[in-house]
Amino acid sequence: MENRLLNQFESVISREWLTEEINEPFEPLTHRELFDLTYHTANNVGTRCVFMKLYQDFKKGSRAILYSKNKTFLSIENLDDQLNAVCYYNDDEHANRLTNTIFPLLQERKTRFNNKEKEIKTQLLKSILVERKIDECANLVMLKDINRKIYFAIGDARESAAVVPLFMEAEGSRLVQLALNKWMATAQNLPPEESFPEERVPGLLKNLMQIKRWVLNLISSYLDKEE
């Protein structure tokens, strides 16, 4: 399915819009840790991930492109020894969002994350994986992709969450799993190579956004907790 937002970003926005850029060294975190912290810190319910490409161990070239409902794009990319983030905007209202809002919070979370126990770090990264899987599923639905891909994306999110105690022991996790199971069953019973039915899209997206809000709040509550 055509990803119009991504095409627009690559052909016009990345070349013509105004930009704001930061570079943050990985140390003392790993490539994955800083990438995931940045992804989560920039993400919210009104944000859509329109592109994701990850290399082994999140090494150089791993990249995500986020589109916000305020009509800004954010590119997050791992380089050799630092993470590069570029915000693309076309009005002054959003000129300093990256440096004034996202970056200061990211630096705080980077310090807090580094001080956490290894097990909590692992569970937080696995929880952000669930967050990314939810975003992947929502993007597939918005692209009107085929039922088979949507089924597996929901399944990936559900299975990723099932192995994280931090996630499964949180209040509300049972409802999240029930909702994911419901939509997996729905997608499984549809013709696998056909587009997800348009009349079911609003219901699925509504549930995914409810789940995303819950996941974002859960992760942030741990990231922002002083040890």
pLDDT digits (tens, 9 = 90+) for 78-115: 999 999 999 999 987 778 889 999 999 999 999 999 99
Domain count, the chain: 2
Domain co-membership, 102 together with 125: no
Domain co-membership, 46 together with 106: yes
Q: Which domain holds residue 127?
A: 119-223
Residue range 171-209, pLDDT digits in tens: 999 999 999 999 999 999 999 999 999 999 999 999 999
Domain at 95, CATH number: 3.30.310.50
Where does a domain end: 115, 137, 164? Answer: 115
In this prediction the pTM is 0.95
Domain co-membership, 129 together with 110: no
Determine the Cα–Cα distance for residues 151 and 197; give it in Å rounded to an integer: 13
